[in-house]
Amino acid sequence: MKLKDIKAKYRELFVVEKSPEEKNKPRDIKKTVKDFWYGKPHEERRLGDLYVGDTGLYKHREWRGVKDTFYYFNMVWLYNYAHMVSDIVKYGEGPQGIVDFAKGIMRYRWMGQTYLSVMHWFDRGMEGMRGEALRASAWHYRGMTSETIRQFQRMFISDKKIHNGKEPKNWKKNIAHNETVGGSIFYPWRDVLDDVPLEMIPYFVSVHVNNHTVLNYIDAAQSIGLPSDPCPMCQAEYGLFVNDDYPDYAPTMVTSNEACDGSVATSVMQDWFLNRPLYAMPQPMRYDDPLVQEHCQKEIEGCWKFIEEQYGIPFDFEQYVKYARSFNKLTEFEWEKWDVAANTPYYPINGVAQALYRIYYSQDGDRPIWHEIDDHVKKIMNKTVKNKINCFPKTRHRAIAWSCAPLYYSNWCTWAYNCWGINCVINMDSLMFDQYLRTDTYEHALEDLAWMNEKAPMRAMAVGGHKHILSLFDYMERFNCDMVIMYDQLQCKGMQGIHGIFEDEFRKRDIHAIWVPHALPDKRTVSRKEIRKIISDYMTTVMHEEPLDPTLVDFDDDKSW
């Protein structure tokens, strides 16, 4: 390689070229110092210039001003990297956990390909964030990372597959379940058994961190004859089994019908592959029919009986009460957050952190980490409200995102704010599990638990009658939104089946709605770049707006994690 080539490569990888306008500007020392201290104003950041080609990697880190850059380096980078090591030991039940972790990395593709790219996932979500928005959003990410480590370490230390087929001591103390079965179902045994969703980390979390990983599973599912059109989320779950890439950490399985035909069908497939005691705990489709409640409650009781029989441990209502009450505190804070998000500009959490954290903790159920995170975020939010800090000052549009999101591009909202000032204040999945759990009597507890599970992701809005999905318009009003980001999951039959009605309603109500096609985890159907183009095209051709940061309008990050 010649020196010339080395220099060119160096420039390509590390040097951010200045725009011609900037080059020609006279040097302004005062402004340079100010930009150094506070960071550049939003419109001058040119974040798109930081990327290396189509990789989505940064030539250098974003300078956010002294305070925020150091906060990010210390409290996001260093803090999380340190915890990513210490949590391995903590949740791995000692130093042996490190060995199991290493074995897990080697054995499972979804693990080996994602762990080291976690901090890039933080970077993508936090891009352009400043001040309290940066801090609160980063805490949410921290919570998800910690709980992810807890879950996969629990799987690894109990996994027969990485222990030469032998049964590790915790194997019999775990309950495996669909990622769509709410963790709240298992509260009566939380102190003695550990419920770990089977696909949550291998598929759902991993696709957020590294969107390439899941493609292998989708292809595996199709390689044995599954057509390509069913929901790709279910296909990916299926592929984990086809490739034998799931840990064997529990003697039983609990499945659900959450909340579509593909999910039911996935349970059938899981039965064939797992070949172990399985309890299907379907929830009613017409869930707000008063007549279905008793049926739903009995199914939950059936699940409890199954656990009692399989593990020989009796149902403990006191434990249920303890965890339900504790979870209620998370719910109360969530309502506070919604109130601030709906009625003020002081909400310090960005769209992606809001969406992912909410779906993660509410599905997972009560865990100490969520309380720890909420305490941090509460302090930040109290400060922003008290001091009237506008956390997203460049907001031009308050958007609500509806339907299921592109998992490979959940951070589109960060981009949309940086580029166009579209602030995604709430999304459909955040509004699920909206249920306070009474604990005064067994009957009340069961009734509310059933309701909670009936309001699980997708089910709450997408099934049980068209009024649920059309509740978008009520939420739009409640959260003071002027724009809808309408996720168009191309393989979701339920949402595709009501496409035209939404078109009609948007026209009738004169609402700006941007349809964002995607295929949940499969980036090959509609790429991130295409999603950005669709939004940008709408903003220029319909809204006639100029981008806040023109360097973000068109760039390629196809190879990015």
Partner 1 sequence: MKDLVHIFELEDLLQEANNELIRKAKSDGKRILGYTCYFMPEVLLDLPGCVSVRLRAPRSTSPEMATYYMSGRTCMYGRCLLERALEGGYNFLDAQLATETCTVTCRFQEHLQMMDIIQNPDFFCEFTDVPFKKNDNSIDHYEKQLQVHVLNKLKEHFGIDISDEALLTAIKQHNEICRLITEIGSYRKLDEPTITGTEFSIIMLSTLVCPKYLIIEKLKDIAEQLKTRQPDVKKTYRCKVVLAGSEEDDPNFVKLIEECGALVVADRHCYGSLPGREEIVVKEGESPLRAIARHYLETSMCPRFMEQHIMRERKQFLADVAKEYKADGIIVSQMKFCEYWSYERTIDTLILPRDFGIPVCSIEKEYVNNAVGQLRTRFQAFVESIELKAIQKTKKET
Tell me which residues touch partner 1 (CB under 8 A): 224-227, 229-231, 234, 238, 255, 257, 260-262, 264-269, 271-272, 277-280, 282, 284-286, 289, 291-292, 294-295, 298-299, 302, 463-466, 490-491, 493-494, 496-501, 503
> What is the smallest separation between the CB atom of 224 and partner 1, expressed in angstroms?
6
* Tokens linked to 337: 């957050």
> What is the smallest separation between the CB atom of 219 and partner 1, expressed in angstroms?
14
> What is the smallest separation between the CB atom of 199 and partner 1, expressed in angstroms?
15
> What is the smallest separation between the CB atom of 297 and partner 1, expressed in angstroms?
9
**Ranges assigned E (strand) in 330-437:** 397-402, 422-427
Pick the closer one to partner 1 by CB: 95 or 290: 290
> What is the smallest separation between the CB atom of 263 and partner 1, expressed in angstroms?
9
Tell me the C-alpha distance between 85 and 412, whole Å. Answer: 29
Pick the closer one to partner 1 by CB: 86 or 496: 496
Pick the closer one to partner 1 by CB: 262 or 345: 262
Pick the closer one to partner 1 by CB: 292 or 342: 292
Closest CA to 476 of 542, 406, 397, 537: 397
> What is the smallest separation between the CB atom of 315 and partner 1, expressed in angstroms?
17
3-class DSSP string for 65-120: CHHHHHHHHHHHHHHHHHHHHHHHHHHCCCCHHHHHHHHHHHHCHHHHCCHHHHHH
Pick the closer one to partner 1 by CB: 259 or 422: 259
* Tokens linked to 489: 């999951």
* Tokens linked to 194: 């550990």
Tell me the C-alpha distance between 542 and 233, whole Å. Answer: 32
For residue 86, count other CB atoms closer than 10 A to its CB.
12
State the angle between helix axes of 79-91 and 131-157 in degrees (0 to 180), rounded to the nearest 10. 20
> What is the smallest separation between the CB atom of 474 and partner 1, expressed in angstroms?
16
Tell me the C-alpha distance between 14 and 6, whole Å. Answer: 12
- Sign, CA dihedral 290-265-496-417, equals positive
> What is the smallest separation between the CB atom of 519 and partner 1, expressed in angstroms?
11
Query: Backbone phi, then psi, for 535, in 5-degree steps?
Result: -65, -45
Tell me the C-alpha distance between 292 and 284, whole Å. Answer: 7
Pick the closer one to partner 1 by CB: 156 or 287: 287
User: Residue 277 in contact with residue 251, Cβ under 8 Å?
Assistant: yes
> What is the smallest separation between the CB atom of 281 and partner 1, expressed in angstroms?
9
Pick the closer one to partner 1 by CB: 146 or 255: 255
Pick the closer one to partner 1 by CB: 256 or 384: 256
> What is the smallest separation between the CB atom of 158 and partner 1, expressed in angstroms?
22
Q: Which residue has the tokens 């200045």?
A: 18
Pick the closer one to partner 1 by CB: 261 or 332: 261
Pick the closer one to partner 1 by CB: 179 or 557: 179
> What is the smallest separation between the CB atom of 450 and partner 1, expressed in angstroms?
13
> What is the smallest separation between the CB atom of 200 and partner 1, expressed in angstroms?
20
Helix (H) / strand (E) element for 196: namely strand 194-197
Pick the closer one to partner 1 by CB: 277 or 314: 277
Q: Which residue has the tokens 């798109």?
A: 48
Q: Which residue has the tokens 């009986």?
A: 305
DSSP 241-277: HHTT-S----S-EEE---SSHHHHHHHHHHHHHH-S-
* Tokens linked to 512: 């700006």
User: Residue 366 in contact with residue 326, Cβ under 8 Å?
Assistant: yes
DSSP 408-462: GGTTHHHHHHHHH-EEEEEEGGGGTT------SSHHHHHHHHHHHHHT-TTHHHH
Pick the closer one to partner 1 by CB: 127 or 522: 522
Tell me the C-alpha distance between 76 and 78, whole Å. Answer: 6
